[in-house]
Structure 1
Amino acid sequence: MLEIRGLDVKYGGVHALRGLDLTVGEGEIVALLGNNGAGKTTTLSAVSGLVRPTGGRIVCRSQDITRMAPPKIVAAGVVHVPEGRRVFSTLTVHENLLIGGYLVRDGAELARRIDGIYELLPRLDERRAQQGGTLSGGEQQMLAIARALVARPDLLMLDEPSMGLAPIMVAAVMEVIRDINRGGTAVLLVEQNATAALKIAHRGYVIENGEKTLEGTAAELSIDTRVVEAYLGGAA
C-alpha cells in the first residue's frame, strides 16, 4: 500500500527526518510513536505533499507520489487528517463534508458517500445543520475524520486524533478508526497516547530524532521495555 524508503526532510539547518524506512500494508493500522519533535508529523506531511522531501521515495500502490501536489496525492488515494481537527467552524457539519468531496464530480455519488458517513457516525447526522465550531472536541474530531472519508481514501493518515479529548471520547474515536479499518481502509496513525494506539494497531514504529529506532507488531511493542518505559507509563 505505502512504501517509504530513505526519506529525508530538512527545515533549513534542521534535519527532521533521516533516511526513514516505513511501510503500511493493505488493510493495516500502523502506529507511529515518538516524543514531540521526533518527526512523526513531518512524516505524514511529506507523504501528503505538504512538505517537500530532500531525499528518498514515497510510493503508494506502485505509484511514486514523492513530488506530487497534495490534490493529486488525494486523488491517488491518500488523505491526511492533520493535528488540531481544523474543521471549518462557521460552516455546518454537512457543508464540511461537502468540502471533503471537492474531487467528486458526480453530485449523486457525493450524496451517497455522505449518507454512508452519516450511517457510520449517526452523531454527525443528528448535527448535520450545526456549525462545526459549536461541536464538542470529540465531535469535531469525528467530523475531521468523516470529512476525509468522503474522498474514499485507500490510506487514511491521522495525526494525534485523541489530543485534548476526555478518555471516553478517546475510546470512541479509536473505535471509529477500527471500524474504518474493518471496512478496508489502511491507517497510518500518529498518536501520543501510545496505549490507545497499540490497542488498535497491527504494527508500529518508534521514531526518535528523525530516525526509526524500533519496529514490530503492536503486541511486541506493548511489552518491549524501551516502549513501556518511554511511552506506556512504565507498566507493561
Structure 2
Amino acid sequence: MTALEVQDVDVYYGRVHALRRLSFTVGEGEIVCLLGNNGAGKSTTMNLLSGLVRPKAGSVRWNGTDLATAKPWNIVSSGLIHVPEGRRIFSTMTVHENLLLGGYSVRDKRRIDERIAHVYELMPRLAERRRQQGGTLSGGEQQMVAIGRALIGGPRLLLLDEPSMGLAPLVVKQVMEVVSAVNAQGTTVLLVEQNARAALKIAHRAYVIETGAVTLSGSANELARDPRVVEAYLGA
C-alpha cells in the first residue's frame, strides 16, 4: 500500500527551479532512500513534505491527505515527522528534556512515558546520558537524541535528512542499525543520504535525484549494482 505519493512537483526559490516534476512513492512499511549530491534537491524535498516549502505545481499526498496546503503542525499530528539535517537538538537541555519536547503534540502523558522508555531501550546510550546536556554529547549521540525525539511523537512516516553527516564509520553503522530497528517495529522511513553505501544496505528501494528530478530508481540491491551509481556514489 502506498503511504506517500509525490507526483510531478515543481518547487521554486525565487527564480531557482529547485524541484523539477519530481515524482516518487513510499510504500507502507518500507525504507526508501533518496540519493544525490549537494544541491540535488533532497533537503528541499524533505521541507516540501513537512510543509515548510510549497509546490508551484504537482501533488503531494500522504495517506490520502493533500500535504501541499497542510500546516506543518497538522502534518506532524498526522504522523509524518521530520528529523532535520544537523540534528538541531537543544544544547542546554538534557537528553531527557529534549526527548520530552518530541511529545508536545501528544496529550496522553502515559503514552509519552512509554515511548521514552522505549527509546531508552532502543538506544541504551541515551539512558546512560539522560541527565547530560545535549551540547556535551558526541555527534553520534546527538543524532540518536534527534531520532529519539521524533519517535516520541509516534511517527507513522519518519523523515531522516542526512543522519550520517559528520559521523565516523562505526557510528554511522550504529545509526543505520537504529533506523532498521525502528522500521522493523512498524515505522515507514524516508531517508535522505549522501552516504549511499550505508543507505543502500538498509533500504528496500531508492531514488537518485539530480538537479531536482529523479534520474534513477529501483530496489536498493539493483541500484547498488548499477554502474552509474557505483561510479557516482560508491566508488570503484
TM-score, with normalisation over the residues of structure 1? 0.98
> Partners of 1:159 and 1:110 in 2: how far apart?
24
* 3-state SS in 1 of match to 2:208: strand
TM-superposed deviation, 1:212: 0.6
1:54 aligns with 2:59: no
Structure 2 counterpart of 1:12, one-letter code: G
Q: 1:159 aligns with which of 141, 145, 161?
A: 161
Q: 1:36 aligns with which of 12, 35, 38?
A: 38
> Partners of 1:127 and 1:70 in 2: how far apart?
31
* Cα shift readout 1:61-120 (whole Å, capped 9, x = no counterpart): 111121111110011110111100100000000100111000011222211111111111
**What does residue 146 of structure 1 align with?**
148
Moved more, 106-115 or 201-210: 106-115
> Partners of 2:129 and 2:158 in 1: how far apart?
24
TM-superposed deviation, 1:56: 1.1
**Structure 1 stretches lacking a partner, 5+ long:** none
> Partners of 2:57 and 2:155 in 1: how far apart?
26
TM-superposed deviation, 1:60: 0.8
**What root-mean-square deviation, in Å, do the aligned CA atoms of Structure 1 and Structure 2 show?**
0.7
**What does residue 75 of structure 2 align with?**
73
> Partners of 2:152 and 2:203 in 1: how far apart?
23
* 3-state SS in 2 of match to 1:21: strand
> Partners of 1:127 and 1:161 in 2: how far apart?
20
* Cα shift readout 1:115-135 (whole Å, capped 9, x = no counterpart): 111111111011111100100
Structure 1 counterpart of 2:215, one-letter code: T
**What does residue 199 of structure 1 align with?**
201
1:11 aligns with 2:13: yes
TM-superposed deviation, 1:7: 1.0
Q: 1:211 aligns with which of 206, 209, 213?
A: 213
Superposition pairs of residues 87-236 of structure 1, within 5 angstroms: 87-234=89-236
**Structure 2 stretches lacking a partner, 5+ long:** none
Structure 2 counterpart of 1:41, one-letter code: S
Moved beyond 2 Å, runs of 4+: none
Q: How many residues align?
A: 234
Moved more, 48-57 or 95-104: 48-57
Structure 2 counterpart of 1:202, one-letter code: H
Structure 2 counterpart of 1:222, one-letter code: A
> Partners of 2:79 and 2:110 in 1: how far apart?
20
Moved more, 37-46 or 52-61: 52-61
TM-score, with normalisation over the residues of structure 2? 0.98
* Cα shift readout 1:134-185 (whole Å, capped 9, x = no counterpart): 0000000000000000011110010110000011100000000000000010
Q: 1:2 aligns with which of 1, 4, 9?
A: 4
* Cα shift readout 1:183-215 (whole Å, capped 9, x = no counterpart): 010111001100000000000000111111000
